[in-house]
Amino acid sequence: MSYRDTILGNCPDYSIDNLDNNLSLAGLGLGGEAGEVIDIIKKYLHHNKPLDRDKLIKEMGDVRWYLEYLAASINVTMEEVERINIEKVLKRYPNGFSFEAANAERVEE
């Protein structure tokens, strides 16, 4: 069973919900889980707490869950999302990342 099959087998039935409901669940869930990742990092960097690596990994998994749900909802594979992202990054930084290139003015993509 694939990751996507596992996700879709353990979530609200996106095939009967409308796109607005799917996007709402995916977007709000993604934002919430990303916030939990951010909070773990904040506590480590600014509250002198030890980095809870296990909890961070679990929350990263929750972020991935919502990304997969979002991708399924718009009928795209994560591999396609990754390919498009790589194309964007290579276009933006054809010679590799540099702070100069990152701070350069560029036309909105």
Separation of alpha carbons 54 and 98, rounded Å: 32
Handedness of CA 60, 62, 64, 66 (dihedral sign): negative
Separation of alpha carbons 42 and 76, rounded Å: 32
In degrees rounded to 5, what are phi and psi of residue 100? -60, -50
Query: What's residue 14's pLDDT?
Result: 67
**Could you list the mean pLDDT of each consecutive 10-residue stretch along the chain, which spans 109 residues?**
90 77 94 98 98 98 96 95 96 91 75
Q: For residue 64, give the nearest of 18, 6, 13 by alpha carbon.
A: 6
pTM of the predicted structure, to 2 decimals: 0.86
